[in-house]
Amino acid sequence: MHEGCSGNFTNGQEVVNKIRAMGFNQQNVPMPFEYKCECGNTFMYETFEMTCPECKMTYGVTPCHCFDPENVMAAGKKY
C-alpha cells in the first residue's frame, strides 16, 4: 500500500484516497501556503487535504510533494 515517494497518481481523487488511507489527510503540512482555487478564491493550505471554503472543491497533496503547491491536485467538489 505504501510506495514511499515513488507513487504516481493520475488524478486528485487517487491522492485524497491515499492520504485518507494513510491517515495524513487532517495532519498539518510542514509549511502552509496560500493556494488559489479553480473558482478564483485564495485560501491558506494548511493540511494535506483541504476544501475551498467558497466552492467546496476538495484538494489533496501527499507528504512527499507538499513543498510545491504545483503538486496539489483537485479531487472534486465535496469529495
Check residue 1 and give its pLDDT: 44
pLDDT at 77 over 50: yes
Check residue 78 and give its pLDDT: 96
For 31-62, what is each residue's pLDDT tens digit? 999 999 999 999 999 999 999 999 999 999 99
In Å, how far are 47, 62, 65 from 20, measured between CA atoms? 12, 10, 15
Q: How confident is the model at residue 4 (pLDDT cuts 50, 70, 90)?
A: low
Q: Measure the CA–CA gap between 68 and 75, rounded to whole angstroms.
A: 17
Burial of 59 (0-12, 13-18, 19+ CB in 10 A): buried
Q: Where are the alpha helices (DSSP H) in the chain?
A: 12-22
- Output the pTM of the full model: 0.92
